[in-house]
Amino acid sequence: MPETTKRDLIPRLTATWAWFLTSLQTFGGLAGQIAVMQRVLVEEKRRIGQQRFLHALNYRMLPPDPQAQHLAIYVG
Gap between the Cα atoms of 66 and 76, Å rounded: 16
Quote the number of domains for the chain: 1
**Domain assignment present for 22:** no
Residue 43: pLDDT above 60?
A: yes
pTM of the model: 0.58
Q: Please report whether residue 46 resides in a domain.
A: yes
Is 63 inside a domain boundary?
A: yes
What sign for the dihedral angle of Cα 24, 53, 30, 32?
Answer: positive
pLDDT at 1: 47
Q: 2-42 pLDDT, tens per residue?
A: 555 556 677 888 878 877 877 777 676 777 778 888 888 88
In a domain, 15, yes or no: no
Residue 1 belongs to a domain:
no
* pLDDT value for 51: 93
The domain in which residue 60 lies consists of 30-76
What's residue 28's pLDDT?
A: 65
Residue 40 in domain: yes
At 34 the pLDDT is 80
Rounded distance between C-alpha atoms, residue 23 and residue 33, angstroms: 8
* Domain presence at residue 59: yes
Q: Is residue 6 part of a domain?
A: no
